[in-house]
Structure formats: C-alpha cells, structure tokens
Amino acid sequence: MITEKTKQQTDFIKMIANCLAKNFISSLFELTKEKSHSAQIGGLAEILDWSKEFCDQYYDKIFNQDLPKGNHQTIQSLNLDDLIVTFGREKLKKFYSEAVNHTNYFEKKYSAL
C-alpha cells in the first residue's frame, strides 16, 4: 500500500529528475558519445540515480517544518531549482572526473536494464 509520504517522495523525485534531465542530460551524452537506445536509457537511469540521491539528502530538510531558525539560512529559504542545479553541477563534475575515458559508460553500467 502506498502511503501519502511515499507518493509525495515519488512526486518529489520525478520533479527533481525532470529538472536534472533538462539541465544535464545533454552534457552526459556529450561526454560518452553513445548513440544507442540502451545508452539513452542508461543516461536517464543515471539522472534518476542522482534524483534519488538528492531526495535522500534533502527531502526531510525541505519538508520538515521543525527546522531551527537560527542565524543560518535554512534549506527552506533557498530556491529549490538553484539547489537542484548546484547539486547537478557537482554530480556532473564528479561524473566527468570518474568517467572521462568511458565511451560506452551507460551501456556498461546499465546493461542489465
């Protein structure tokens, strides 16, 4: 049975994935130069992995109304799109540093899909 929180998290991951794909999918494909259908699915799977990671790191911080309101700016007051793009840039930078010589990266990583 799907709880309301599970549905909210799923919707949140979809929203994050859309934003990350819009901003970073073409950069992922430029690096790998893969043109196959399985590579495209792998690229989308990579974006989905990033989205899940973002949700794991930020979901509770964004939706928890009990965050302390001290002198530090809370995550709630940040622009969510800016936070997602900043996260995506860091993931892309890490991806570039790890996958620089992998021209068939997505096909290797996601071949079981």
pTM above 0.85, yes or no: no
Residue 2 lies in a domain: no
Cα–Cα dist 44/20, whole Å: 10
pLDDT at 60: 85
Is residue 70, in this structure, part of any structural domain at all? yes
Is there a domain that residue 1 lies in? no
Kindly report the average pLDDT of the chain as a whole number.
79
Residue 101 has pLDDT above 60, yes or no: no
How many CB atoms sit inside 10 A of residue 43's CB?
22
Total tally of structural domains belonging to the chain:
1
CA 90 vs CA 73, 76, 111: distances in Å: 21, 20, 25
Tokens read off for 113: 């899909």
d(CA 4, CA 64): 15
Here the tokens at position 69 are 């309101």
Whether the per-residue pLDDT at 58 is higher than 70: the answer is yes
61-95 pLDDT tens trace = 887 754 455 444 545 455 889 999 999 999 999 88
